[in-house]
Amino acid sequence: MNIIENYSLSRLNTFGLDIKARAFCEVAAESEMIGIAGTQKWKGKPKFILGGGSNILFTHDLNALCIHNLIKGINKIREDEEYVWVKSGGGEAWHQLVIYCVENNYGGVENLSLIPGSVGAAPIQNIGAYGVELKETFSELEAIHLETGEKKIFSAADCRFGYRDSIFKREFKNQYAITSITLRLHKNPGFNTSYGAIEQELKAMDVQTPTVASISQAVINIRRSKLPDPAVIGNCGSFFKNPEVPEDKYSELKKIYPDLVGYKTTQGKIKLAAGWLIESCGWKGKKSGNVGMHTQQALVLVNYGGASGKELFDHALQVQQSVLGKFDVFLEMEVNIL
């Protein structure tokens, strides 16, 4: 296996930051991932798994062995009358897995179309969009412990999914490489079109009866209209989580700010639109040097070119403090800060 010292990660993070890893290698098979764990030179030393680099803000060089997961393959592994189980390599692009499901009319992930990043990173973040989260279709994942090389299967319960959260962001952070995930998808799906602008977009598309494909296309249209392409301008998509507040807190804020947007959660709290809070504080489209919040979506932190990771992080802290000062609401950063 080829391990390269002092390797630039500029092409492997969507902020486009020229950060260097102490060492770097690409892994295209589960056996190779197990082999990395057995490499004597890196025993007991820090290792970092890199997928699509779309949920990371590097603020300094990476003093670790950076392992780029390129394990591919998408296959239907079983089915019954109601469901089909699809297994995907962790190194696949998430949207490629969605395309496979849409083309085969398997329902459940169409609302998660065009989310950047890799399949292996999806459970770490419990990715979600337009009223749907990964955990709703998740069956299991396979992972390799980076120190022992042991293979482990995690069920949904093992993953302890939360809002943009899982055990891999907490107790098991940087301990496992996710080599595959398996989804349980619907053969005769029901659809979630009530969140965001999906229904409006379907009308604009002249869709009378929604399908897996039409909902996926509606989501793609909406995301392309709102979110900048990382290939054109450096960003990681939504930088902050939508905060959740108690109902009484929401009622108080609603009296002062009648336009405040909120959605009731299954836990009885109210989820606020972080983008609305940020825009209300005057940050939307505001540029500071080479950094700013995007002109079309206040939730997106942008590298206009030449910014450092520290500059991006400092700007995010200013936005965070501004929202806290005005609304007494803390915005948690969704992106992994390193």
**Which residue spans of the chain are classified as CATH 3.90.78.10?**
234-337
- Give 198's contacts (C-beta < 8 A, 6+ positions apart): 111, 130, 192, 215, 218, 219, 222
Grouping H, G, I as helix, E, B as strand and the rest as coil, residue 145 is strand
37 pLDDT above the threshold of 90? no
| Edge-to-edge strand list for the sheet holding 244-245 | 244-245, 270-272, 262-264
* pLDDT given at position 39: 77
**3-state SS assignment for residue 115:** coil
Average of pLDDT values for 53-67?
A: 91
Section 148-172 average pLDDT: 92
Domain 234-337 has CATH 3.40.50.2300: no
Tens of pLDDT, residues 108-126:
999 999 998 899 999 998 9
119 and 90 in contact (C-beta within 8 Å)?
A: yes
Structure confidence at residue 230 (pLDDT): 84
Mean pLDDT taken over the chain: 91
Percentage of the residues of the chain whose pLDDT score is greater than 70: 99
Those residues with Cβ within 8 angstroms of residue 141's Cβ, 6 or more apart along the chain or in another chain: 123, 153, 154, 159, 178, 180, 181, 182
Taking the CA of residue 302 as centre, how many other CA atoms within 13 Å lie in the half-sphere pointing to its CB?
26
For 72, phi then psi, to 5°, come to -110, 180
pLDDT over 70 at 196, yes or no: no
Bridge-based pairing of strands 83-89 and 176-186 is antiparallel
Question: Annotated catalytic sites, by residue?
Answer: 164, 238, 334
Q: What are the distances in angstroms from CA 208 to CA 215, 219, 221, 299?
A: 11, 16, 17, 32
Query: Strand 83-89 relative to strand 128-129: parallel, antiparallel, unpaired?
Result: unpaired
CATH class for domain 4-69? alpha beta
CATH topology of domain 74-186: 3.30.465
Determine the pLDDT at residue 55: 86
User: Which part of the chain is CATH 3.30.465.10?
Assistant: 74-186
Q: Where in the chain is the domain with CATH 3.30.43.10?
A: 4-69
Please report the pLDDT score of residue 320 as a whole number. 96
What is residue 333's DSSP assignment?
B
pLDDT tens digits along 170-188 = 899 889 999 999 999 999 8
Token look-up 């209300």 returns 280
CA–CA separation, 258 vs 247, rounded Å?
Answer: 15
For residue 156, the model assigns a pLDDT of: 95
Distance CA 90, CA 322 (A): 38
List CB contacts of 58: < 8 A, sequence separation 6 or more: 9, 13, 15, 17, 19, 309, 338
Task: Judge residue 26's burial from the number of C-beta atoms within 10 Å of its C-beta, 0-12 exposed, 13-18 middle, 19 or more buried.
Answer: middle
Query: Which tokens belong to 45?
Result: 């030393």
Q: What is the pLDDT of residue 277?
A: 95
Model pTM score: 0.83
pLDDT tens per residue across span 233-276:
899 888 998 999 999 899 999 999 999 988 888 778 898 999 99
